[in-house]
Amino acid sequence: MHALICSEGDLLEELAPTVLGRGGFEHHTANRLEDAHLMALAARPAIVMIDRDLPRADELVAALRGDRSTRSLSIAVVARGDFEEAELGLLEAGANAILRLPAGPEWDARLNRLMAIPQRRQARFPVSFWVVAAATSLQEPVPATGLNLSENGMLLETRVADLDLGCELQLDVRLPGGDVFGGAGHVVRLAGPGQYGIAFARLDERASEVVRRFVETAGGH
């Protein structure tokens, strides 16, 4: 498998304790947006690791997501120190996750999930949701439409509410064919006007099976 490492420093050395550094991967490194994009096109890596501090990192993420040949790649941003506002821009541009150094034992599980890009089914289906917050939540369910469902999450479309990155939602989903499931998720990407990338946080076993069965039926992508 291939891994693309995008950094001006020695990010590969910092990733050595993880599954990416213990063998089985061919590493490609780049320190400029243009080189990284070309390498991604040529190598089709299982994962792209981008240093948060790489100049124009947000442009690189956006370029990979905007190119039909690379938009399905799994992209992780590696950050040092405390949260910075720039990380929100990277998530908005399409990064799948922010991983904070130093790399610890929990990284392997997260990297393996990121590299196992789930099958996704393009469909439209009704969703109701509530915003969960420390002090308040919406009193009435908000209508929305779900799109592009996978076992990891979906795209949510609603014109009723403005959602912030990171906010938690309680979800009720009705799939074509009559199956329903509920669960929780977080907004991880602002995909466009009224569109939000949702990562599922807590799905019970039955809900996971409903999603899996729906995605794997004819018409999945």
- The share of the chain scoring above pLDDT 90, in percent, equals 52
Residue 20's contacts (CB-CB under 8 Å, 6 or more residues apart) are 3, 27, 47, 49, 111
Strand order across the 2-6 sheet? 26-30, 2-6, 47-51, 75-79, 97-100
Nearest Cα neighbor of 34 from 54, 17, 12 is 54
Q: Tell whether the model's pLDDT for residue 74 goes beyond 50.
A: yes
- pLDDT at position 78 is 96
Residue 160's contacts (CB-CB under 8 Å, 6 or more residues apart) are 142, 143, 144
Task: With beta carbons less than 8 A apart as the criterion, state whether 207 and 183 touch.
Answer: yes
Domain co-membership, 205 together with 101: no
Q: Which of 86, 115, 144 is the last residue of a domain?
A: 115
Domain co-membership, 98 together with 180: no
Nearest Cα neighbor of 78 from 58, 97, 106 is 97
Q: Tell whether the model's pLDDT for residue 135 goes beyond 60.
A: no
Domain co-membership, 7 together with 109: yes
Taking the C-alpha atoms of residue 82 and residue 76, their distance in angstroms, rounded to an integer, is: 17
| Residue 221, domain member (yes or no) | no
Task: With beta carbons less than 8 A apart as the criterion, state whether 151 and 118 touch.
Answer: yes
Task: With beta carbons less than 8 A apart as the criterion, state whether 176 and 123 touch.
Answer: yes
Domain co-membership, 10 together with 54: yes
In which band, very low, low, confident or very high, does the pLDDT at 119 lie, cut at 50, 70 and 90? Answer: low
Q: Which of 53, 83, 115 is the last residue of a domain?
A: 115
Domain co-membership, 55 together with 106: yes
Domain co-membership, 152 together with 102: no
Domain co-membership, 173 together with 86: no
Domain co-membership, 159 together with 95: no
| Residue 101, domain member (yes or no) | yes
pTM: 0.57
Domain co-membership, 143 together with 197: yes
Q: What is the DSSP letter of 141?
A: P
Q: Tell whether the model's pLDDT for residue 118 goes beyond 90.
A: no
Taking the C-alpha atoms of residue 209 and residue 213, their distance in angstroms, rounded to an integer, is: 6
Q: Which two tokens stand for residue 120?
A: 């996704």
Mean pLDDT value across the chain: 88
Q: Which of 61, 81, 115 is the last residue of a domain?
A: 115
Furthest-apart CA atoms within the chain: distance in Å? 52
Q: Tell whether the model's pLDDT for residue 219 goes beyond 60.
A: no
Domain co-membership, 111 together with 6: yes
CATH number of residue 144's parent domain: 2.40.10.220
- pLDDT at position 48 is 97
- pLDDT at position 61 is 96
Over residues 161-198, the pLDDT tens digits come to 788 888 889 999 999 989 999 999 988 888 788 999 89
- pLDDT at position 218 is 46
| Residue 89, domain member (yes or no) | yes
Q: How many domains does the chain have?
A: 2
What DSSP string describes 95-106? -SEEEESSP-TT
Domain co-membership, 141 together with 109: no
Over residues 1-59, the pLDDT tens digits come to 899 999 999 999 999 999 998 767 899 999 999 999 999 999 999 999 999 999 999 99
CATH number of residue 37's parent domain: 3.40.50.2300
For residue 171, what are the domain limits?
120-216
| Residue 186, domain member (yes or no) | yes
Domain co-membership, 57 together with 107: yes
